[in-house]
Amino acid sequence: MRSDTNLNRRGFIVASSIAGAVGIFSEPRDAIASGRAAIDSAAIRPFRIHVPDAALADLHHRILATRWPDRETVADTSQGLKLDTMQKVAHYWATGHDWRKAEAQLNALPNFVTEIDGVDIHFIHVKSKHPGALPMIVTHGWPGSIIEQLKIIGPLTDPTAHGGTAADAFDVVIPSLPGHGFSGKPRQLGWDPIRIAKAWAVLMQRLGYTRYVAQGGDWGNAVTEQLALLQPPGLVGIHTNMPASVPDDIAKALAAGGAAPAGLSADEQRAYGQLDWFYKNGLGYANEMAHRPQTLYALADSPIGLAAWMFDHDVRSMELITRVFDGVEEGLSKQDLIDNVTLYWLTDTAVSSARLYWESKLPFFAPKGVTLPAAISAYPDEIYQAPRSWVEKAYPRLIHYNRLPKGGHFAAWEQPASFAREMRTAFKSLR
């Protein structure tokens, strides 16, 4: 068996075998200079992760060498993540976190990579043991990754072991977005949600699926909705936990920064207030990445800088993360949160993932005209909890809507049990 290897800039072995067994890492094919023509670009190759000890030692050193700023001058989080919180993050990351545990968990699943439109796409593909399982492609967002979806794989593919029936089973495909995780980093312009959706259609076709559904939140929603607009052969419906449903009059009022329009219901008033706060206080990260992603060199150089940038995504997620590092039991653990940041660090994808904000020209929360059957799960601590009245207008073929009592932006990660139940209910009519 012939193997071509190179080293990427952090010293990771990047290997490709003509026989199909692949080694690790980050840009698993982009770094290969020789032998590439011999690899079938449409092939699906097994993928295995192994981070060299030297890379973990370097990470540890950088965490300990963090140069800390002075303490915030307010008692709350209005200036951002508190110094105390980030020092607790650093202490756990340096002394308590076990990347090898995360690595083993990932390697216990079937990982693959395949080239689509010139970019290597990494994905997890778990088939149910139950015949007739419904295939579903699940797309993460930012600052998430495939780690967001690990907790739902068991309940979806093996429902009889998690309170469901064999009729609830799914085959699950979980890709890493281009420029994220173990997928390749696009070297051409144009990798926006529309192009990614086209790649996902190719992926599902390449896997042999002739009938499937799609799910996503955050960027995963943007990609999933564009997939629905493409209506590729086989796609029969979608689900999202962060719908694009804000009516035009509401969007105009938010842009003007004024009070909510008159006549809103209680649910609509709550959603307006959530969006108004986010537009005025929470869009800094998105604006920077949408306009100047390459400027974020510090994120590629400082693990603590990267963690702080990722943890300050939205106010309710930041509050949850703060509680976690204060020792409060939550849907997410310290291990969960640091696994995800470590994945970004080790794959050197802080800047490449940010470019998706620069590439996309889609209005994030505006209805897109999806006409396929659509299901919506509205979690209370999402950026906004979409009211049914808005959702019904945005998705004329609404097959499921539910307002959940608990959960936020990372629903599958934080509330996997309720999320799995939502998937079973949402797609029951499409089986």
Q: How far from 179 is each of 22, 84, 145, 281, 403, CA to CA, in Å?
A: 19, 32, 11, 27, 33
Catalytic residue among 130, 140, 239, 409: 409
CA 89, 90, 96, 97 torsion: positive or negative? Answer: positive
Instruction: Give pairs for 126-130: CB < 8 Å, separation 24+.
Output: 126/153, 126/157, 126/171, 126/172, 127/157, 127/171, 128/156, 128/157, 128/158, 128/169, 128/170, 128/171, 129/157, 129/158, 129/169, 130/158, 130/159, 130/160, 130/166, 130/169
61 counts as catalytic = no
218 counts as catalytic = yes
Instruction: State the Cα–Cα distance between residues 215 and 149, nearest whole angstrom.
Output: 11
- Asked if 58 contacts 32 with a C-beta cutoff of 8 angstroms, the reply is no
Q: In what order do the strands lie in the sheet with 212-216?
A: 45-46, 111-116, 119-126, 170-175, 134-139, 212-216, 235-240, 374-378, 398-403
Instruction: State the Cα–Cα distance between residues 124 and 270, nearest whole angstrom.
Output: 37
User: Dmax over Cα atoms in the chain, in whole Å?
Assistant: 70
344 counts as catalytic = no
Catalytic residue among 272, 344, 357, 379: 357
Instruction: State the Cα–Cα distance between residues 164 and 169, nearest whole angstrom.
Output: 8
CA 137, 143, 149, 150 torsion: positive or negative? Answer: positive
Q: How do 235-240 and 212-216 pair as beta strands?
A: parallel
Catalytic residue among 120, 192, 218, 314: 218
Closest CA to 375 of 260, 228, 189: 228
Closest CA to 42 of 156, 195, 206: 206
Q: Give the catalytic positions in this structure.
A: 218, 357, 409
